[in-house]
Amino acid sequence: MRGTKVTYAIGYTNVSALQHEIRNMRLKIKRLKVEGNEISSARLAIKCAELLIEYADQPDSDLNEEQQEEHREENLNKAIRHCKTGYNILSECNKPYQDTIKALELMTDAYRRLKNYDEAIECNKTLIHRLRDMKDDLELRNAIRTLGDIYFERGHEPDLAKYNDFENARVYYLQERDILDQLDPDTEGFITMKVSLDFNLGVIEAKFVEGLERGEKYLANAIRGAHQLGDYEQERKAWWELGNVCKKNGDLERAIRCQQKELQLVEKHNNTDEKILCLIEIIKTYLEYGDFDECLKSCDQLSHLVDSEDDENEATSSTKLVVAIKSIKDQLDELPGVIDLSTVNVRANLYFKKARIEFEHFMYKVALASTEKGIQCIDQDPSIKKQLPRLRIALMQLQAELAWRLREMSVDQLIHINNGIVSEIWHYFTDTSQRLHQLQIVYERMMHILYYFERKDEYQRWSGLLEELKARQENTVDEEDESAHMDYWSAVSYDYAVDTNTIPGFMLPEGSKSLMEVTVMVPVDGENKGVIVPIDNDIRSIGWLIGKVTELAWEQYGVEPCVNHLQVESSPLSPHEIIVLAISQGTVMEAVIDGYKKKTPVEIYQNACTRLGLPVLSTVENVLRDYHGGVLKLSGAGLSSRDATVMTQVLKRIPPLNTLDLSANLFYDQDVIEMLTSTPGIQHLDLKSNRLTHNIIPLLDCPSLLSLDLSFNPLGPEALAKLPLGLEIWTSIKKIRLIYCDFGGYFRITDEIQASYDNAGKLL
């Protein structure tokens, strides 16, 4: 039956083997129920649940993302229903624990996948209770470990986490340790379990200020154990987390050493994706440390690893981060130490900008410090504080958000900060829509905080306030710009969030900034020529600039230099340095070159025409394509005075000529003189049939000339008088042709002219 599509049931085609097995199993469950075999149907329901969980992760590839998520949720919920049915029947019948334990494990797994953490925790606690009765230490250890993992996982979910999740995770990980301490060290997989537990305890202890030292010890044990097992991935993760602990302790030097250890591991195992992530974190740590040179070295390493658009975005983002923070630091350092409105406004703006950038890169701790510095800056003078209310509130909003995300303050401290912001908003924001928008930010944050700390009564109160506020917003006519309703830390709303009376140029939106330009001096034809390069992006490197100099020198001067390096006052610049950090506006650089890239005669001609705005002649192109051996024949190419400058540049750039034929064109004396300056060693020159006069003869400065044809040019009889002057220059001339040159019938040859001919001893 070749080509026949197999059909299992009406409406179902291309059914997977797993889906087919699930369908048959569900039919069998129904049949067993009808037959009254409840226990068998319950056990089969639990087996079916296991298949449904597996099938949840195998959606049809033809489904879109939303449909795939629906498929996943639908099958996980089906699995939960099957487990509940089987568990309830077997529990009532008091049948062997193993089936009910399996049901509880599967329900825990399905609830966890759905992020229904409360239900997952409840199922897992029931499972632990049953396993304690069975006295199976390994199974009990697995269940306790899972419960710790669930609490730990929920603790990292911003909208679902609760204040005691990490504490509960620690409790169950410590219970797991108690069980492992009682196990025989020769138990299969014991060392692996121990390493994994040390890692988990290290990470969870580091969540608490008082647990940092313990966390460090656990992670050090995990590193040693993973190394002993040859578990590269576990060792790598442990170094990563140990680096995080060191950063939290403020020991940035040690944090960098840990991150370098991780980097060595990923390099050893050729894991490019992990190396990219590792370098990004190293850049951030060096940035906190203030070592911008090391930051840029790591950025350069990162740029050489990218092989996809996503990776390139990561590399670009990291470089922009370094450039932005360095730029802000330099600007802060340059500000005068006075306390006046203008200076304080600029300084506080810079701290706000710095904090926002750090916030966007998840550098919450340093961002919090930046907001605090900005607020302190404004609070130095009460009169200035009154004049910069919106900037101060923007800093306070960002400070409160960072404090909440760091989870290092008590609930009372967080409430105090946000209540302070509410008071400031009511005091300083007179525009209703702006005030409501700012209040909404605080109210929504407060609801997250109170949910997290399980303050149910206060949560309900703030929830009511938020509903009232939204109702008022609907009734408020919005006369503000759209940017007034963006989040306060977004780039779009920045100008709204601050007082703009004295914002300096570097704080203006990108669209209003003028491009930075740099000048690079390049050797061209024995003299230095300036190449002006606009810098269109603040992460451009010196290496990029070298490429642009090469490109623009060709476009502007007709030569493509092979640039070895750029330098400022004889100090070489590394190609990896970022331009805006390496030099300032107006700095003139020099290009040190290793010659020029060889170009074809056609390329040289086309380039010259483009630069001079002249049309390209196909007749000339054809001749230049065939050019070889020092002989160039442009006879009848349709050239005229307008082409003289182009041809001068072509003759200068191509290999030296010994023979040049410019006959049958429309050149005048000065055109030829100009072109011949580029061919000093010419030996054979054909200039017949142009528009030359006798004046050209003494100006043909070609000492190597062997033959010259000036026929069919309106030289006139005066040419005979000037010819001796030419003979004095053309000391090697063998032949001169002067046919039809308008000499007329007679011309008197003086004794002086005759003597010149006699002395020359040449053949006319």
What is the torsional sign of CA 203, 209, 210, 214?
A: positive
Contact at 8 Å (CB) between 625 and 651?
no
pLDDT digits (tens, 9 = 90+) for 739-764: 999 887 555 666 766 776 666 554 44
* pLDDT band, very low/low/confident/very high, at 659 (cuts 50, 70, 90): very high
Domain range 613-760, CATH class: alpha beta
Work out the angle at residue 744's Cα, subtended by the Cα atoms of residues 739 and 748, and round it to the nearest 5 degrees.
110
Closest by CA position to 396, among listed 380, 372, 365: 372
Q: How far apart are CA 628 and CA 626, in angstroms?
A: 6
Contact at 8 Å (CB) between 160 and 119?
no
Closest by CA position to 32, among listed 44, 17, 48: 44
What pLDDT shows up at residue 426? 92
CATH code 2.60.40 for 322-475:
no
**Around Cβ 96, how many Cβ atoms within 10 Å?**
10
pTM of the model: 0.67
What pLDDT shows up at residue 586? 75
| Domain boundaries for CATH 3.80.10.10 within the chain | 613-760
pLDDT digits (tens, 9 = 90+) for 260-300: 999 999 999 988 889 999 999 999 999 999 898 899 888 88
In sequence order, which ranges of 2-59 are alpha helices (DSSP H)?
Answer: 17-34, 38-56
- Strands in 631-633's sheet, in edge-to-edge order, are 631-633, 659-661, 684-686, 707-709, 735-737
β-strands 516-524, 588-596: how paired?
A: parallel
**pLDDT beyond 80 at 503:** no
For the domain covering 17-264, report its CATH number.
1.25.40.10
What pLDDT shows up at residue 87? 93
| Domain boundaries for CATH 3.10.20.90 within the chain | 516-596
Q: Torsion-angle region of residue 630: left (phi > 0), alpha (psi -120 to 50) or beta?
A: left
Contact at 8 Å (CB) between 280 and 314?
yes
What pLDDT shows up at residue 747? 59
**pLDDT beyond 60 at 318:** yes
Task: Report the chain's mean pLDDT, rounded to a whole number.
Answer: 86
Q: Which residues contact 524 (CB under 8 A, 6 or more apart)?
A: 553, 557, 559
* pLDDT band, very low/low/confident/very high, at 255 (cuts 50, 70, 90): very high
Q: How far apart are CA 499 and CA 390, in angstroms?
A: 7
Q: How far apart are CA 353 and CA 262, in angstroms?
A: 32
pLDDT digits (tens, 9 = 90+) for 173-220: 999 999 999 988 888 899 999 999 999 999 999 998 888 999 999 999
Contact at 8 Å (CB) between 677 and 651?
no
CATH architecture for the domain at 516-596: Roll (3.10)
**pLDDT beyond 80 at 595:** yes
Contact at 8 Å (CB) between 678 and 645?
no
